[in-house]
A and B are shown apart, each in its own frame.
Chain A
Amino acid sequence: MIQLKDISKIYGKDGQQVRALDNANITIEKGEFVAIVGASGSGKSTMMNILGMLDRPTSGEYYLENKEISTLTDDELAKIRNKKIGFVFQKFHLLPKTTAIENVELPLIYSNRKDIRKLAVNALAKVGLSNRGKHRTNELSGGQQQRVAIARALVNEPEVILGDEPTGNLDSKSGLEVVEVFQELNRSGKTIILITHSGEVAEHANRIIRIHDGKITEDYKVEKPLDARTELAELKKVIN
Chain B
Amino acid sequence: MNKYKIIESSFRILRRNKLNTFFMILGIVIGIAALSLTFSLGKSAEKQLTQKVKNLFNPNNILITSGRVELESGRSSESSMTNLKIEDIEMIVNEVHGITMYDVIQTTPERDVIFGNKNISTAINGGMAEGEIVWRRSVASGEYFSKADEKSSARVALIGTKIVKKLFEGSDPVGSQIRIGAVPFTVKGVLEERGIDPHGTDLDMNVIVPITTLMNRLMNVNYIAGAKLEVEDASKTEEIAGKITSVLRERHSLNNNETNDFSIVTPVVVKEIIGKMNRVFTLFLPLISGIALVVGGVVIVVIMLMSVSRRVSEIGLRKALGARSQEIMFQFLVEAAVVSLFGGIIGLTIGLLGAGVFMSSMGLTFYIPWQTILFGILFPIMIGVLAGIIPARKAAKMDPIEALS
Contacts and interface: CB of A to CB of B under 8 A. Distances in A.
Given A102-B12, A110-B324, A78 B2 contact: no
B325 A75 contact: yes
Main secondary structure of the interface of B (DSSP, over half): helix
Interface in B1-41: 1-2, 5-6, 9, 12, 16-17
B317 A95 contact: yes
B112 interface: no
B238 interface: no
A93 B400 CA distance: 12
Contact of A82 (B12, B317, B321): B321
Nearest to A45: B405
Interface string B300-337: 00000000000001100111111111110000000000
A104 to B, nearest CB: 11
A54 interface: yes
B326 to A, nearest CB: 8
B404 interface: yes
A112 B4 CA distance: 12
B319 A78 contact: yes
Main secondary structure of the interface of A (DSSP, over half): helix
Contacts of A107: 321-322
A52 interface: yes
A78 B401 contact: no
A89 B323 contact: no
Interface residues of B, number: 25
A49 interface: yes
A81 B318 contact: no
A152 B1 CA distance: 17
Contacts of B404: 54, 89, 93
Contacts of A87: 320-321
Contacts of B401: 49, 54-55
**Interface range on chain A: under 10, 10 to 19, 20 to 34, or 35 or more?**
20 to 34
Nearest to B397: A74
A79 interface: yes
Interface string A23-53: 0000000000000000000000100010010
Interface string A130-155: 00000000000000000000001000
Given A109-B6, A116-B5, A79 B322 contact: yes
A102 B320 contact: no
A45 to B, nearest CB: 8
A169 to B, nearest CB: 14
Contact of B322 (A45, A49, A78, A105): A78
Given A54-B320, A81-B320, A93-B404, A109 B9 contact: yes
A97 interface: yes
B5 A109 contact: yes
A75 B314 contact: no
A106 B324 contact: no
Contact of A83 (B313, B319, B322, B323): B322
Given A49-B401, A54-B401, A55-B401, A116 B2 contact: yes
A105 B5 CA distance: 9
A58 interface: no
Contacts of B324: 74-75, 78-79, 110
B325 A74 contact: yes
Given A52-B320, A54-B401, A109 B1 contact: yes
Given A54-B400, A93-B404, A97-B16, A108 B2 contact: yes
B1 A110 contact: yes
A40 B327 CA distance: 35
Contact of B327 (A89, A110, A152, A156): A110
Max chain A CB contacts within 10 Å: which of B9, B323, B326?
B323
A112 B321 CA distance: 14
Contacts of A49: 401
A107 B327 CA distance: 12
A87 B12 CA distance: 24
Contacts of A95: 314, 317
27 contacts: A49-B401, A54-B401, A55-B401, A75-B324, A75-B325, A78-B319, A79-B324, A81-B321, A82-B322, A82-B323, A87-B320, A93-B313, A93-B317, A93-B404, A95-B314, A95-B317, A97-B16, A97-B17, A102-B9, A102-B12, A106-B317, A108-B5, A109-B2, A110-B1, A110-B324, A111-B322, A116-B5
List of 4 A-B pairs having minimum Cβ-Cβ separation, nearest first: A82-B322, A75-B324, A97-B16, A110-B322
